[in-house]
Amino acid sequence: MKFSEVVGQQSVKRALIFSKKENRIPHALLFVGPEGCGKLGLAVAFSQYINCENPQEVESCGICPSCLKYQKLVHPDLHFVFPLMKVNENTLVCNEFMKEWREMLNSNIYFTPLQWYSHIGRENKQGTIYAEEAGEIIKKLNLKTFEAEYKCMLIWLPEKMNITAANKLLKILEEPPSKTVFILIAEETEQMLSTLLSRCQLVKIPPIKDSEMHEALSNQYQVSEHDLNNAVLLSEGNIIKAFKLLENNSDNQQFFESFKNAMRLAFSFNVVEIIKWTNEIAGFSKEKQKDFLMYMLKVTRDNFLITEGAENKVVHRPEEAEFSIKFHKYINERNVFTIVKELESAYNHLERNGNPKIVLLDMMLSIALIIKS
């Protein structure tokens, strides 16, 4: 992974590169930063840089044998430790999950602990770094360096170490093996042993700057400037949050079209088309069906507010605002409560595993009758 693959963080990158140029690479670094700032990516890019056989001014070369292995995360002197969860008290160590870890990191360098747990099929559990892992770390460090200048041991979320693991790691850091760089990558340090903290050189990673976030997002998403600015503003430097906002955004576009269709069909009471519509929505994933109903609820309430003259309380997108100019008068004090009740009841039925085709058809027929009356 090259530095350029990590969004922004120019001053952190500069300081890291400087430490290599000055030959003052600490044997233990602690990267601390909030979710979605890129600290894991920076740790991998830095490890690649210090082992690059032909490092450039501000970047690793990307083509030497070391870089090629680093790009695929398969370099034999690059080691990872990350939280896992035991099943039936069986010992688990990171080596057993390297395939999943590489898949995760290769597809996206920005992810939350929950996204990692969900990737290994354990979304409802809390991860831990167990004492056995410390034994693994010692084993790996005792191996002779295969081909790199530095062995790099990257520990993602050291705050998840149990106390035995943390104490064992402390012992290793007290007598650090030569030519080994530990990079601990933490979101919060309150739960970490203070003795462990004092062994590491702290590198604070701030949230991503708005201008850098804007540039990165505009390269990845084809969305309007309005939606882009909105995502930058709401994400507060957390790129994972910005991704989610923009992905929901493409759902929102689809939801808006489906809502418009639903209202058109309700007015025309075209049952054949209504059935087609419900089948289409029933084809969404369960979560998306529920998100769509929440969206319908929001738009219904927004239009009622506009009818009541409270448009200043409504936050909507330009195309939604345009649609509401004509539509809002159909949502009024005579029907808003029954429509909302129908939507809420459909939502509850879906949550209790009701058949979506039936639930949505019932809902649509009721809403059509309410709107026409």
Among residues 26, 27, 64, 100, which is the contact residue for Zn ion, using CB under 5 A? Answer: 64
- Among 6, 28, 67, 129, indicate the residue that binds Zn ion (CB under 5 A): 67
Stretch that binds Zn ion, among 52-60, 85-93, 314-322, 354-362 (CB under 5 A): 52-60
Does 240 bind Zn ion (CB under 5 A)? Our answer is: no
The reply on whether position 85 binds Zn ion by CB under 5 A is: no
Non-local (6+) Cβ contacts of 240 within 8 A are: 35, 36, 110, 111, 112, 115
Q: Compute the Cα dihedral for 5, 9, 14, 15 and give only its sign.
A: negative
CA distances from 316 to 126, 230, 299 (A): 37, 12, 9
With CA atoms as reference, report the closest residue to 42 among 174, 300, 239: 239
Amino acid (one-letter) located at 226: H
Comparing CA positions, the residue from 16, 70, 5 lying closest to residue 239 is 5
Q: Does 340 help bind Zn ion (rule: CB under 5 A)?
A: no
Judged by CB under 5 A, which of 30, 32, 52, 367 binds Zn ion? Answer: 52
Looking at beta carbons only, is 47 or 289 nearer to Zn ion?
Answer: 47
Among 227, 232, 231, smallest CA distance to 211 is for 232
- CB-nearer residue toward Zn ion: 20 or 241: 20
Instruction: Choose between 1 and 192: whose C-beta lies nearer to Zn ion.
Output: 1
Q: Is 165 helix (H, G, I), strand (E, B) or coil?
A: helix
Among 12-20, 50-58, 149-157, 252-260, the segment contacting Zn ion (CB under 5 A): 50-58
Residue-by-residue DSSP string for 265-277: HHHHT-HHHHHHH
The site that binds Zn ion (CB under 5 A) totals a number of residues, namely 5
Q: Judge whether 273 and 327 are in contact, CB under 8 Å.
A: no
d(CA 159, CA 182): 15
Binding segment for Zn ion (CB under 5 A), chosen from 47-55, 244-252, 327-335, 352-360, is 47-55
Stretch that binds Zn ion, among 61-69, 136-144, 201-209, 248-256 (CB under 5 A): 61-69
The answer to the question of residue 61 lying near Zn ion (CB under 5 A) is: yes
Q: Rule CB under 5 A: say whether 60 interacts with Zn ion.
A: yes
Which residues are near Zn ion by CB under 5 A?
52, 60-61, 64, 67
